[in-house]
Amino acid sequence: MVTIKDIAKQAGVSVGTVSRVLNGGKNVRPVTYRRVIEVIQKNHYKPNKVARKLVMKHFVNNTVGAVIPNVTKPFFTEIVRGLYDTLRKADFNLFLFNVTLGKEKEILQHVSQENLRGVFVITIPISEEERNLLRLHNMEPILLEKHAPFVHSVWIDNFHGGKLAAEYLLSRKAKRIAFIGEATNNEQQRLRLEGFKSVIFSQPSQIEKYVEKFISTEEDIPFSSYGSQISDLVQGLISEENIDGFFFYCDEFAYPAIKFIRSKRLRVRIVGYDDIPTSEYLGLTTIRQSGYEIGQKGAELFLQMSKDKTTRKETFSIRLEPTLIIRET
């Protein structure tokens, strides 16, 4: 049986260096990290911690993990629900890891030490080194609602969703348009906005005004807490800029606008993004991206790979199309 000392000897490093690689590669030079990884993979070495737990019968063969950035957001809850429902039918358990902003690398290192069959990473960026770390511990990561070429992923085409929102507002003759989002550099918002502007700016003769406004948000505070701030912002844009069409980064940002606009009986068009359950009851026109379907497809991919180990040789990327849901006349 290959030991950690054998790995260290073959790689020409110390046992401590091999240990640091197994725990995430902190303070290990990239060239050394790659050399140690190659030796580990060549020898099919598994860390002793996993071996001990196998002997102690603590290894739970039917449990997978999901790393989620914010459990308070309804869209993420829908992803988890899709995962849970699909995995439960196949007799798998789901273990959740909630992570705060700035702690993503730490949580992935922690997850790698758990006894899991696989791990779903929801919207959080993952590096090739982190993917390799999880694989070393016999976990195949699947990225959800985010795409990377070196890891399995299930994702929504946010760029296309932004285009659909712009096309809807233009079809309703909106000429003075505003985008309202959150003041963070998240990939989903960036792609939606890029798609939106690609259509808006391709029709300069139809647009008289275009405005972007961003709300400062905090990681652990639900979007619903910013209602009065968004309502005041919408009121100001309508009165000062005569805005007649709004695109909101997410449905929850659109709800306060609906309340204000309907209370004043204004002819202003609104389109949100997500189509979470509340949106249907409020009659919000929105871009539907099914969080439940993302979770469902991710779980189905995991189950497929669990049955056929050879599929790990290729990287799966499942792209889902958003759709426009019109609910206002």
The confidence score (pLDDT) of residue 60 equals: 53
* Whole-number Å distance between alpha carbons of 274 and 293: 12
CATH topology for the 46-155+293-320 domain: Rossmann fold (3.40.50)
* Distance from C-alpha of 6 to C-alpha of 12, rounded to nearest angstrom: 10
Give the residue from 84, 24, 99, 95 showing the smallest Cα distance to 60.
Answer: 95
Separation between Cα atoms, residue 177 and residue 162, nearest integer Å: 14
Q: Which residue has the tokens 């399995």?
A: 152
Domain boundaries, the chain: 1-45, 46-155+293-320, 158-288
Q: pLDDT tens digit string along 297-319?
A: 999 999 998 887 655 568 899 99
CB 320 within 8 A of CB 297: yes
Fold match, 46-155+293-320 / 158-288? yes
Which CATH topology does 158-288 take? Answer: Rossmann fold (3.40.50)
Cα dihedral: 253, 259, 264, 269 (round 10): 50
pLDDT of residue 285: 96
| Sequence letter at residue 217 | T
With a cut of 50, list the residues of the chain below it in pLDDT: 50-59
Which residues lie across from 94 on neighbouring strands?
A: 64
CA angle 181, 69, 122 (to 5 degrees): 95
pTM above 0.85, yes or no: no
Does the domain at 1-45 match CATH 1.10.3720.10? Answer given as: no
Strand 209-215 and strand 317-320: pairing? unpaired
Inter-residue contact 34 to 136 (CB < 8 Å): no
